[in-house]
Structure 1
Amino acid sequence: MAIANLGPTFPDLAANVNRNVSQISFIFIGRSSGYFGGTLIGGLLVDCMNAKILLGFSMLATAMGLYAIPWCKTATLLTAMMSVIGFSMGVLDTGGNVTALDTWGVEADPHIQALHFSFALGAFMAPILDKMVLGGSAVDLQDHLGSTSDHQPTVDSPVSSEKLHFTVMLSYTVIGTYILLVALFFCLLYWRSGSTRDRRKSSAQQYKIAKYHYALLILLSIFFFWYVGAEVAYGAYIFTYAKTYVGMKESEAAGLNSVFWGSFAACRGLAICLAICSRPVSIIVLSIIFSTVSSLTLTLFNTHPVSLWLGSAVYGASLAALFPSGISWLEQYTTIQGKSATLFVMGAAMGQMCIPAAVGFLQGHYPAVPVLMYTALVSAIMTDVLFPVLYKLATSPSDPNRKGAGDRNLSEALLFNSHLEEEDEEVKEWNEVDFEVIEMNDMWQNSVIETSTNIQGASALELSSRSRDVVPTL
């Protein structure tokens, strides 16, 4: 909701800082830069502090940023506040996925699907909320204040300016209050449960490290780069494409855009039930097949109305479950920690920034070419190529020597967690017992080897002495 709220209120924010829309478009860059930094820092923080309090403080920062947005009277201050909100959202995105995986483990697939369904649901509800709060006042006030695309708005009427500020403040305050309540629940959950259980679970968990761990993370980040980039680009430009390239009416183009996002949100909800009775790899394969077929249809029949309506619906549905299913699928083969999640979330963020920008640039220079449809097809082909490689690497036989490495990783995790909070005697005693068990296992193995060696040596000595006793004397 916080991400999608910017679009409907964008003209109001421009008028609030006495600028036009084109003059403050750089606030999107500020928010994207903050989000990129948040995914990087969030992956490091989720590995070294309690996830509940991290998510609680991140949502608290988001709520405070939303409260401050209507009071930003300069474009610089507005951009800085957008960067802060983007940073906290990046921490939430990385920390939320890792927390879900740590909480439900091998059963996390439907929960991950539900988490990402909530993203689509919030993006769907935000424009509806803005319509209810603003009631079309944005356009009316912009006209009343005399703003155009070529001139700065002039706020001559104190009553109109005050009304504009109130409507913007109300929209961001409603969403900010909701996020603040969720942040307080996270903090309450932390205070009630404490951090002992989290550290104990992290210590007891047997980490799975795939043979090609880092190669899988890099390839998955590239996979998400193309997938998320295509998703955001199609959703951002299908309205303009249908209106300018195909010649649809504005209402029809808006309906086409709604069909894409509606099928996307609906299939993310359906994926929750589907994840209970099927494996992530099955969902990924089906999604890739349907995205390839639909993007190919959209490319070949790029001006046919039936192809556009049906293809957009199928394309949105096929993209819905790819991201959460990809995370759940990789977790089956290798443990995803904060740093690992940072890598593929950053890949998704890069795709979200680069591919839509490239589509806009190419579409402007080559208006007679259906760049958007070609981008969807190329992205589908790239996912078709990357996933078989990912599957081959993930299912490769593990090196037997990696078992010892896994034991060392477990010991290091125990040692690391023992230093998290020295006053927690229960956890320290539990870790010491673990180390004693490991040492006792080593001592037992060594004693068995030594005993076996002594027995063999004694048997050989006894046999030699007997052979000397029975030698005949001539």
Structure 2
Amino acid sequence: MKLAEERTWSLFRSRFRQTLTYWSVFFSFGLSIAFLGPTILDLRCQTRSSLQQITWVFFSQQFFLLLGSCLGGLVRRTLMSSLVALFSSTLIISLVFAIIPLCHHVVLLSMAMALAGTAMGVIDTIGNLQLVKLYQKDAAIFLQALHFFIGLGAMVSPLVADPFLADDRCVLGANGTNNSSSSDLEHLRNSLGGHGAMLGNTSRYPLYTEGVVVTRVSYAFWIMALINLPVPAAVLTLMHHEGLVSCSSSSPRLLSRDPGPSPAVDSSQGHGDMLDCFNLDRLRGRPATFFILHALGGTIVFITDGIIGSYAGFVYTYAVSPPLLMGYKMAGCLDSIFWASITAGRLCSIYLTYRFQAPVLLTISLGGVVLVQCVLMIFYTSWMLLFVGTCVLGLCISSVFPSMLAFTEDTLDYRGCATVVLVTSASTGEMMLQVLVGSVINSQSSYSFLVCSTVTSFMGFCLFLLLLYTRQIHINLPTDSSTYMDMKEKQEAPDLQVPE
């Protein structure tokens, strides 16, 4: 234990500039991902749009986040191109925060959120890739910390926005009055906080689109733009430290060359761009387990991140529906408790990664998710158990993605392809499962929310057991890299064979 701690601190001290920069970039990611839910009603007033129109903004952000994740995988994985992409993405996020108050039409707002979503997806893929590349077999602890900063940013964003949110109608009718109480607004805001996937019956809320706009939410976005501005500055500082930019006009190093990987990075692992992952020459000769491990790892994070998205999106709707019928204020706390427990869980996982190997930590986490979901489904009439279960679920599921990423990359010798597959699968799952669960709740009942979560979590646990079995087969095979090199040598030197 002590030797492991000394090794970890030694690695961190030698690479602290890169590590702190990547952590700050993920803080920017968290800041961007959490602001839309609390501010959506004020943005509806700003754009004078209906509820149905404004929910397309959620879809725009999520869809382009997925595209950005794929785009991040296509970026050449040299140090220069990665840092340039991170600098551009974090700067775009600050610019989007600054221009959102100027978007007075829902189409313009959707375009701005599409741009922000693309930048977030690029950050998600490249940030994970670079940290895995930097630490390799020691990456698990630092990945847990990396994803803790997403939660930290997601906690800061609503706190900044809250003082500027409208307590009453933010568009006054033609007579300068409004007819709905602040509790109605709170209920709408909490319902829309789940990415607007389920509007329910909103006809009784007279939301004006014409009248005097009285929202002050613009100040929240400008403050968040300023909070985020040091992040691209930190990336630019790292680029200068790595010799990628220079303040001197006479220097030949002003983004004119790629110095290659930093001394702390092992360049022997063959990290290229995502196209290398699908290069037929490189894939030829790989065992079937190589592909199965990618597929299983991607499917597991598809399910777990999908559970996170759907639970955060619909736990409020479930709580205010029969049989629980919670009050709006009490039910509104559930989403905050869930995200706070995820953030706390990732902080605790930094220490737990010292004590447990990734398979053990993943088994406990995924098993805990299944157990919590089963308890919630059995005791579905208990509001107290819903609060406790929400907290425990967040703690259990928080470490799954970073642990699975480190575990899969370690099994596959840090080729980088697994990171791209897992990040893209996680983004897809968060978007797709939320839509699927929302449609099931609309057609069935609120109880189907717990049934869907329980079934998917059980599937994820079974797939993880299959992944462990496949991994055991894979590590007992000759390494796929040596198989590939043997085949390549035979193809390039056929004349060296001795004739009979």
Query: How far, CA to CA, are the matches of 1:146 and 1:355 in structure 2?
Result: 40
| Aligned equivalent of 2:39 | 9
Q: Tell me whether 1:64 sits opposite 2:95 in the alignment.
A: yes
Q: Tell me whether 1:224 sits opposite 2:297 in the alignment.
A: no
Deviation at 1:349, TM superposition (A): 1.7
Q: Tell me whether 1:111 sits opposite 2:134 in the alignment.
A: no
Quick one: which of 259, 265, 268 aligns to 1:196? 259
Is the Cα–Cα contact under 8 Å of residues 269 and 415 in structure 2 kept in the other structure? no
| Aligned equivalent of 1:180 | 229
**3-state SS of 1:137 partner:** coil
How do 1:373-452 and structure 2 match up within 5 A? 373-396=450-473, 397-400=475-478, 402-405=480-483, 407=485
How do 1:142-161 and structure 2 match up within 5 A? 142=171, 149-156=205-212, 161=213
Deviation at 1:146, TM superposition (A): 5.6
Structure 1 401/240 Cα, relative in aligned 2: closer, same or farther at 3 Å?
A: closer
Is the Cα–Cα contact under 8 Å of residues 5 and 130 in structure 1 kept in the other structure? yes
Structure 1 46/114 Cα, relative in aligned 2: closer, same or farther at 3 Å?
A: farther
Query: How far, CA to CA, are the matches of 1:409 and 1:78 in structure 2?
Result: 53
Q: Tell me whether 1:334 sits opposite 2:427 in the alignment.
A: no
Query: How far, CA to CA, are the matches of 1:356 and 1:10 in structure 2?
Result: 18
| Aligned equivalent of 1:453 | none
**3-state SS of 2:32 partner:** coil
Quick one: which of 313, 319, 323 aligns to 1:236? 313
Is the Cα–Cα contact under 8 Å of residues 109 and 276 in structure 1 kept in the other structure? no
Deviation at 1:205, TM superposition (A): 3.6
Is the Cα–Cα contact under 8 Å of residues 57 and 109 in structure 2 kept in the other structure? yes
| Aligned equivalent of 1:255 | 333
Query: How far, CA to CA, are the matches of 1:187 and 1:398 in structure 2?
Result: 44
Quick one: which of 380, 386, 400 aligns to 1:308? 386
Deviation at 1:401, TM superposition (A): 6.9
**3-state SS of 1:214 partner:** helix
Query: How far, CA to CA, are the matches of 1:114 and 1:46 in structure 2?
Result: 25
| Aligned equivalent of 1:419 | none
Structure 1 266/199 Cα, relative in aligned 2: closer, same or farther at 3 Å?
A: closer
Percent identity (aligned): 23
Structure 1 295/97 Cα, relative in aligned 2: closer, same or farther at 3 Å?
A: same
Q: Which has the larger radius of gyration?
A: 1
| Aligned equivalent of 1:53 | 84
Structure 1 33/401 Cα, relative in aligned 2: closer, same or farther at 3 Å?
A: closer
Structure 1 366/332 Cα, relative in aligned 2: closer, same or farther at 3 Å?
A: same
| Aligned equivalent of 1:21 | 51
Deviation at 1:6, TM superposition (A): 0.9
TM-score scaled by length of structure 1: 0.79
Query: How far, CA to CA, are the matches of 2:53 and 2:236 in structure 1?
Result: 39
Deviation at 1:23, TM superposition (A): 2.2
Structure 1 337/5 Cα, relative in aligned 2: closer, same or farther at 3 Å?
A: farther
| Aligned equivalent of 1:433 | none
Query: How far, CA to CA, are the matches of 1:239 and 1:271 in structure 2?
Result: 27
**3-state SS of 1:196 partner:** coil
Taking only aligned residues, the RMSD between alpha carbons, in angstroms, comes to: 2.9
Letter in 2 for 1:40: C
Deviation at 1:191, TM superposition (A): 2.2
Q: Tell me whether 1:320 sits opposite 2:395 in the alignment.
A: no
Deviation at 1:100, TM superposition (A): 0.8
Q: Tell me whether 1:139 sits opposite 2:197 in the alignment.
A: no
| Aligned equivalent of 1:128 | 159
Letter in 2 for 1:304: S
| Aligned equivalent of 1:101 | 132
Query: How far, CA to CA, are the matches of 2:267 and 2:488 in structure 1?
Result: 7
Structure 1 206/51 Cα, relative in aligned 2: closer, same or farther at 3 Å?
A: closer
Query: How far, CA to CA, are the matches of 1:379 and 1:401 in structure 2?
Result: 33
Is the Cα–Cα contact under 8 Å of residues 161 and 217 in structure 2 kept in the other structure? no
Is the Cα–Cα contact under 8 Å of residues 301 and 307 in structure 1 kept in the other structure? yes
**3-state SS of 2:33 partner:** coil
**3-state SS of 2:217 partner:** helix
Query: How far, CA to CA, are the matches of 2:229 and 2:349 in structure 1?
Result: 29
Is the Cα–Cα contact under 8 Å of residues 16 and 73 in structure 1 kept in the other structure? yes
Q: Tell me whether 1:33 sits opposite 2:63 in the alignment.
A: yes
Is the Cα–Cα contact under 8 Å of residues 295 and 377 in structure 1 kept in the other structure? yes
Query: How far, CA to CA, are the matches of 1:321 and 1:113 in structure 2?
Result: 7
Is the Cα–Cα contact under 8 Å of residues 310 and 437 in structure 2 kept in the other structure? yes
Specify which structure has the higher proportion of helix: 1
Structure 1 15/389 Cα, relative in aligned 2: closer, same or farther at 3 Å?
A: same
**3-state SS of 2:122 partner:** helix
Is the Cα–Cα contact under 8 Å of residues 44 and 339 in structure 1 kept in the other structure? no
Query: How far, CA to CA, are the matches of 1:401 and 1:307 in structure 2?
Result: 48
Deviations 1:357-401 (Å, cap 9, x if unpaired)?
A: 12221212222x511111121121111110111112222245437
Structure 1 193/408 Cα, relative in aligned 2: closer, same or farther at 3 Å?
A: farther
Is the Cα–Cα contact under 8 Å of residues 106 and 332 in structure 1 kept in the other structure? yes
Quick one: which of 439, 444, 448 aligns to 1:366? 444
Is the Cα–Cα contact under 8 Å of residues 60 and 183 in structure 1 kept in the other structure? yes
**3-state SS of 1:139 partner:** coil
Q: Which is worse superposed, 245-254 or 147-156?
A: 147-156
Query: How far, CA to CA, are the matches of 2:327 and 2:397 in structure 1?
Result: 26
| Aligned equivalent of 1:414 | none
Deviations 1:49-82 (Å, cap 9, x if unpaired)?
A: 5322221111112211221111112111111111
Structure 1 runs not aligned, ≥5 long? 412-441, 451-474
Q: Which is worse superposed, 103-112 or 260-269?
A: 260-269
Structure 1 401/87 Cα, relative in aligned 2: closer, same or farther at 3 Å?
A: closer
Deviation at 1:336, TM superposition (A): 4.5
Letter in 2 for 1:12: D
